Chain A
Amino acid sequence: MVNNKNLHLLILVGLCVALVLAGLISIASGSVSLSLSQSLAAALGEGDKDTLRIVNLLRLPRTIVTAFVGANLALAGCILQGVLHNPLADPGIIGVSAGAGLFAMALMLIIPEQTALVPIAAFCGAILSTGIVFYLAWEKGINPLRMILAGVAVATFFGGAMSALNVFYADRIQGTVMWMAGGFQGRSWNHVELLLPYSAIGILGTLLCARQLNALQLGDDMAKSLGIRVMRVRTILIFLSALLAAASVSVAGMLGFVGLIVPHIMRLLIGSDHEILLPCAALAGAIVVTLADTAARTLFSPLEIPVGIFMSFLGAPFFLYLLKRRLGA
């Protein structure tokens, strides 16, 4: 056990170092070429006016947003897969994406001049649709099976409304495509401000619940005999994941993949002890999204590729490789 603990500690430290490196790479790269030392100096407030503008107004907030969004989505996915005992669970399943998508899209299509309000609209939409799913799934606490069914039904309903918007505003639809694909163009401090409080609550809350989440893995009866109030813990955890996912979707758009696959990859690499899995998944999510976003905005500059596309192309094959290797062994 001691050995195992040391190994876990090593992985955790390794991931922390990797995240710092990813952050530095992200701040030092972009369409305008700046050296790492120039970028760092600018982040600390030294350098000429234009370098300061680019680093402090664009790269720094964007890097912070990508890291938090990655961590949030990976954590949300990790919780949901654990609580619902369903390997396909991701933040989409509790209705978060459907509501956020519909509200953001409606705003961008009907009153595009108010696009600045998209994060707030998306957040309200996510809370509303998740609220409906919770209400439908409530049975003295959240019933996991009913939750999944309610999630599918609500997503279908909101999806229908999105298709209707698609049809009636066909000429404006192109403007929303980039948001729907998920990405971070032009994200700045106002997005950091929106994201930070919810992320802080969600991340801290989740890490504190790791033990209870472990107990839930043993099945409801076993968890009860260990003194866990199953319904209450499950409900709190799902609420936390909804908060994390809603905050992320509202600033990053419909970013799939991270919430589903990063938790699986980490589980395959380090096992399913949530006390170590949760922090590792959060760090890995942050690293993956930060690096993918850096690639998305620099590889084809000045064109920006939606980061979601990048992650799907790189992440899905890697995930399949891990899966196959494990099945083989």
Chain B
Amino acid sequence: MLWLQKHKVQQDGSVVPLVDSTGTVVQVPVQPKRIIFLNASNLEIFTAVGGKAAGKTTSTSYPEDILPLIKDIPEIGMIHSPNVEQILGLKPDLLIGVNVPFHIMLRKPMEMAGVPLYINMINSYEDVLKTIDLFGKFAGKPNEAAAKRAKIEADYAKLTSDVVTGHGPRTLIIFGSPDSFNMATEKSFVGDLLQRLGGINIADGESKAKDSSYIPLSMEYITKADPELILVITMGDGQTVMDKLRSELDTNSVWKDVQAVKNKHVYQLPGNLFTVNPGTHIIEAMKQLRGYLKEASDGK
């Protein structure tokens, strides 16, 4: 029967079992040669440690420093709708994606085609370091990866040497706009960084949604928690969004009594570092965050 011809293509060369971020054991080639990346942040780290990918996701959020290095890598469609045929046409020996439905969905058909799918999530500072190590191995450049990692660890130590956890300003991280917004919890990448820099995230106080990175909180709760610092991550970038937001906060009678608004400690986090995962630019993101935290605590 025509449709029962299932093909199992044997991999050449040896494989090694690795456990990915979803707990799945993936048979990864010891030295993968053609890796396709299904999301931007994983590709960024791979490129930063000296790797050359065989395919990349269609995206506008690649950091500028790697653009010249990746401009001739073929695209395989957007993050939430990768084109399977394009992927197989590029003859990859490994796919690397994140834990989203349309990446997981590729696992079965790709396995039948003999291409393993490795899910790599970057949700914290440690994840960035781990990813640098792993991708250094994949790229065949362990030394470059080790150097990159050492640099980040040294910078991190310097940046956090005088941090006393839980003594920073009470902070609210808004994701969206003041009309329709969610708050970042400690589960989110930015929430993780905030905690490491000593900030107190008001969304973690009484949140019962333990699993969510972003949760809706009531205006009443915000008034009661009275944040000293408000950080905003918007999807669209640019000054207009922020101007509109500031004027709304200033005129809205509930918002304008919040300490952060009164003392003008409302800042927009740059989209290139916070809307997408900063990857190896994590220290830049932390420096930015640290600066805002300092301003809020100094200006009390």
Contacts and interface: CB of A to CB of B under 8 A. Distances in A.
A54 interface: yes
Contact of A115 (B74, B79, B101): B101
Main secondary structure of the interface of B (DSSP, over half): loop
Interface stretch (A141-149, A169-177, A276-284): A169-177
Interface centre among B24, B80, B81, B86 (most CB of A within 10 A): B81
Contact of A175 (B76, B101, B175, B182): B101
B85 A32 contact: yes
Nearest to B5: A56
B213 interface: yes
A168 interface: yes
B212 A169 contact: yes
B83 A302 contact: yes
A307 B109 CA distance: 20
Main secondary structure of the interface of A (DSSP, over half): helix
Contact of A302 (B75, B80, B211, B216): B75
A17 B58 CA distance: 38
B80 A31 contact: no
Nearest to A50: B91
Contacts of B24: 113
Contacts of B107: 116
Contacts of B3: 60-61, 64, 189, 192
A45 to B, nearest CB: 6
Contacts of A303: 58, 77-78, 81, 83
A172 B82 CA distance: 17
Contacts of A113: 22-24, 99, 104, 119
Interface centre among B3, B83, B86 (most CB of A within 10 A): B83
A257 B58 CA distance: 29
B88 A57 contact: yes
11 contacts: A31-B85, A114-B104, A115-B101, A118-B101, A175-B80, A183-B81, A185-B82, A192-B3, A302-B58, A303-B78, A304-B77
Given A53-B9, A297-B85, 11 more contacts: A32-B89, A52-B7, A54-B89, A113-B99, A171-B188, A174-B80, A175-B80, A185-B84, A189-B112, A303-B83, A304-B83
Interface of A: 30-32, 43-45, 49-50, 52-54, 56-61, 64, 108, 110, 112-116, 118, 167-172, 174-179, 183, 185-186, 188-190, 192, 297, 301-304, 306
